[in-house]
Structure 1
Amino acid sequence: MSPPSGGDGVTGQVVDAFADETDDERRRRLRTVVAASLLGTTIEWYDFFLYATAASLVFNTLFFPDTSTFVGTMLSFATFAVGFVVRPIGGVVFGHIGDRIGRKRTLAVTMVLMGVATALMGVLPTAAQVGVLAPILLLCLRILQGFALGGEWAGAVLLAVEHSPKRRRGLFGSIPQVGLALGLALGTGVFALLQVIFDDEQFLAYGWRIAFLVSIVLVAIGFVVRLKVDETPAFQEVDALAQKSSAPLREVVVPPNTRNTVLGLLARWGEGSAFNTWGVFAIAYATTQLDLARVPVLAAVTVAALVMAVLLPVSGLLSDRHGPRRVYLAGMIAYTVAVYPVFVLFGTASLLWFTVGLVVVFGVVHALFYGAQGTLFASLYPTPVRYTGLSVVYQFSGIYASGLTPLILTALIGAGHGTPWIAAGYLVATGLISVVATKLIRPADLHL
């Protein structure tokens, strides 16, 4: 068993690594933490979701060309899903490393791996050039992306939360989530811009590659910033008191942590399906089912993601006032109620109403529960196993909650002969599961 973490469970009372710092030094440290967490997650998610956008618009044509549009899209989304399947492996590996050697160094490694995989995608030969080798290489790089991202989210959340002032943990916990929204906005925005600059032929020939090659510059900047941040006080305490867990994965799945792990996995289902519906699947749905133009659709997703980025810190502040569990629960209920009305708006095949629906459900509602998620899940585990615990909850749930969502929705719409109502029912079901699971997380379970 892990020894109980000191004090409130994040910053202990036995060891205070920053007890002697001045107010100016404290503010400088927290600014560096914010920059490292925000910039790092923005770059990592830009890389990861750039693939998602390309899967909807490019890869189905260039890497699976000898298929129908429907089959090509399904195959493209299948390779997208593979990244989520391998993420738990990365989560377990990097979670163990993060709990054993620290958050800072682990995050530096994940960033480099992600950047290399994304940049190599930008120089991949297509199926027209090398045949079946093209999708195989694409799949291998997607696996590397998923492995790297498996250790990213938990580490970025802990970097922020474990450095945060006690009364601002909700706000700091929302910072990595802002990075996700900005990463998605940057990815879709760059793709939209490139399609404005280049005509369709030029874009498919080489224009799309620019978005992937830009990752090299972004990763270099993020890597330097992350090297400047201090290790978290919570991990320094565990290290100083020799309280590291020898088998963090085992401790995450056995009592007393079993209950929180199961509830965390279920509570994440609605969030994961929601993000990949509105941030990924909606692009393919709007361009193939609604016949909306690609650039305006990408612009709509970008706007919704930017609205989310602005509102996520508001969710963090609400979490500091009302508790992250209550905020997450309220947001998940609102999402579950909003699913069918949003698809009704989509059904008008109007770009205006598509944008309005997306901004409401993705920009506003998603921000409410997503901003509270990091702090809520960080509260489920004591410090010695927290990196592994967060990784297990977030990455294992990512298989069914996130990665398979575009594939499932595409299949359900096909089963519904082009209508979205069966697919919408699936999303409502995932939301209800998350509502119940979140409700069952007792306040006494929270260590924050």
Structure 2
Amino acid sequence: MDRTPPAPPVPPATAASRTPAAKQAKRATHAAFFGFGVDYFDIYLPVVALAPAIHYFQPKGIPDSVETTLFYLTFAATLLGRPVGSIVFGGISDRIGRRNATLIAVAGFTVATFLMAALPGYAQWGYGGIVCLLLLRFVGGIFMGGEYTSANPLALESCPPAKRGIVGAYIAGAYPIGYIAISVVTLPLLSFLPGGSAGSAYQTWGWRLPFLVGGLLGVVFFVFFYRSVDESAAWQAEAARKESAAEKKAPLRELLRDRAIRRRLAQALLLMTGLWFGVQSIISPVSGLLITYLKQDPGAVTTALLLSNVALFLGYLTFGHLGQKYGRRRVLICSGIATLLVSVASFLAMLMLLSNGGSFVLAMVLYTVGLVVAISPFGVATVYLIEAFPTKIRASGYGVAYSVSLLIPSFYSFYMLGLSSFMPYVYTPLVLIALGGVLTAVGAKIGAETDRTELVGSD
């Protein structure tokens, strides 16, 4: 007679038994948000922090056109590095894990940022100083592209399906937070340190402080991620399946080889190109248009743009909730149409109001409406892209779709210059905003809904 005591019954899953997974999801989500914020902090370093000290890297008496080109290159170098980083680290993340790829990327951009803070200027190295600055910006951009390409899929793979919409929006909302953070760090420095003239305190060493802050944020992120965030369960399951099947395929090659996935990638690239046109036509040129062409007070413009970015963060969360409730694809289609109708109209109304000496406050309210309508869909697009690709190539698909789509819109200044040959320059962003709305709506329309996708085993 078998006297072995019966095995105790397995208790049903409880809230307590699910706590480790819930904590992992929260840690991964907050880490992805923080990392994305550091990314955008870094992107705007040359625009906000280095712009008042750019002469530190340039000789005296160079033509304005050369000076403007060199400044534009310091901004563009990072934007060009990000697609390279997404391609490289997408494959790394799909092969060796989201967590390991994120740690490598964070270490890389942290070192690059610290090195930029230590660079000598034209007086010491001649043009070698700005050449090194451009190289470090490009290399830093590669690692930055790798950070979100790895950390964002990890966070959403750890997240319960019912919360993915709002979590994706929260992570994407780090963009306006990053812009606010770099402004908060830099503006007090410009108030306390004399700037503008050659040899001034800000031009000599003050500009280095925001770069040091950016490097320290990278260190904090690395330590937190290393100590607190575990590998994605979805990636671990896929890695185990590949190992048991002796399957070794390059993720990028697989992304481009499969016809169905190629079509999905092309659709995602079209959608994201539209959204990036919105960014480059509504955000990038507005400060110059308001200050240079419409003669608005620089301090008032800076303050208004900060407030607009606060509203934009709330817009990300709102759109993320709508995407969770009504479907990502449907919200993206409606967003593209709204950009075409609402954002174009509100941006035009802002320009006309300020051109005729109207209320600056009302004009910035109109601008904020157009900004929120056109840019908040990024809160939906982040989770939409991650859901669109199977686990084995998820980081590669997300990274390529998110970053490579930036290349064409990044040349917005040249498009505006070309359009100015037959329309007033100040109104040229309207054409690009409208184009962005059309591409967003069409890109979403030809795609499939993703909100029911299971990220574990979605191959």
Shorter-chain TM-score bucket reads 0.7 to 0.9
Which residue is equivalent to 1:249?
Answer: 252
Q: How far off is 1:107 after superposition?
A: 1.1
**Distance in 1, Cα, partners of 2:391 & 2:64:** 48
Q: How many residues align?
A: 428
Q: How far off is 1:136 after superposition?
A: 0.8
What one-letter code is carried by the residue in structure 2 that aligns with 1:252?
A: L
| Aligned residue runs from structure 1 range 103-118, under 5 A | 103-118=98-113
The one-character-per-residue Cα deviations of 1:356-393 (angstroms, maximum 9, x if unpaired) are 2342222x214531110111111221000010011111
Structure 1 residues 136 and 196 mapped into 2: Cα distance closer, same or farther (>3 Å)? same
Q: How far off is 1:324 after superposition?
A: 1.2
Corresponding residue to 1:36 among 31, 37, 45: 31
2:230 aligned with 1:230: yes
Structure 1 residues 393 and 107 mapped into 2: Cα distance closer, same or farther (>3 Å)? same
What one-letter code is carried by the residue in structure 1 that aligns with 2:379?
A: G
**Distance in 2, Cα, partners of 1:345 & 1:354:** 5
* Contact 1:170–1:317 (CA under 8 A) maintained in structure 2: yes
Q: How far off is 1:91 after superposition?
A: 1.3
Which residue is equivalent to 2:9?
Answer: none
Which residue is equivalent to 2:444?
Answer: 438
More deviation, 256-265/437-446 = 437-446
Q: How far off is 1:289 after superposition?
A: 2.3
Which residue is equivalent to 1:14?
Answer: none
Secondary structure at 1:200 match in 2: coil
**Distance in 2, Cα, partners of 1:423 & 1:367:** 15
The one-character-per-residue Cα deviations of 1:95-124 (angstroms, maximum 9, x if unpaired) are 111001111111112122222222322232
The one-character-per-residue Cα deviations of 1:394-416 (angstroms, maximum 9, x if unpaired) are 12112113x3234543x347646
2:182 aligned with 1:187: yes
* Contact 1:269–1:431 (CA under 8 A) maintained in structure 2: no
Provide structure 2 residue ranges, at least 5 long, that are not aligned to the other structure: 1-12, 455-459
2:116 aligned with 1:121: yes
2:364 aligned with 1:383: no
Q: How far off is 1:207 after superposition?
A: 2.5
Which residue is equivalent to 1:215?
Answer: 214
| Aligned residue runs from structure 1 range 256-271, under 5 A | 256-271=260-275
Q: How far off is 1:231 after superposition?
A: 0.9
2:370 aligned with 1:361: yes
Structure 1 residues 282 and 188 mapped into 2: Cα distance closer, same or farther (>3 Å)? farther
**Distance in 1, Cα, partners of 2:158 & 2:318:** 19
Corresponding residue to 1:405 among 407, 412, 419: 412
Q: How far off is 1:273 after superposition?
A: 2.3
* Contact 1:55–1:80 (CA under 8 A) maintained in structure 2: no
* Contact 2:384–2:451 (CA under 8 A) maintained in structure 1: no
**Distance in 1, Cα, partners of 2:384 & 2:361:** 35
**Structure number with larger C-alpha Rg:** 2
| Aligned residue runs from structure 1 range 332-343, under 5 A | 332-337=336-341, 338-343=343-348
**Distance in 1, Cα, partners of 2:16 & 2:260:** 36
TM-score by length of 2: 0.85
Percent identity reads 25
**Distance in 2, Cα, partners of 1:206 & 1:22:** 53
Which residue is equivalent to 1:296?
Answer: 300
Secondary structure at 2:395 match in 1: helix
Q: How far off is 1:181 after superposition?
A: 1.9
The one-character-per-residue Cα deviations of 1:16-59 (angstroms, maximum 9, x if unpaired) are xx999723323322221222111121112211222333465543
Which residue is equivalent to 2:401?
Answer: 393
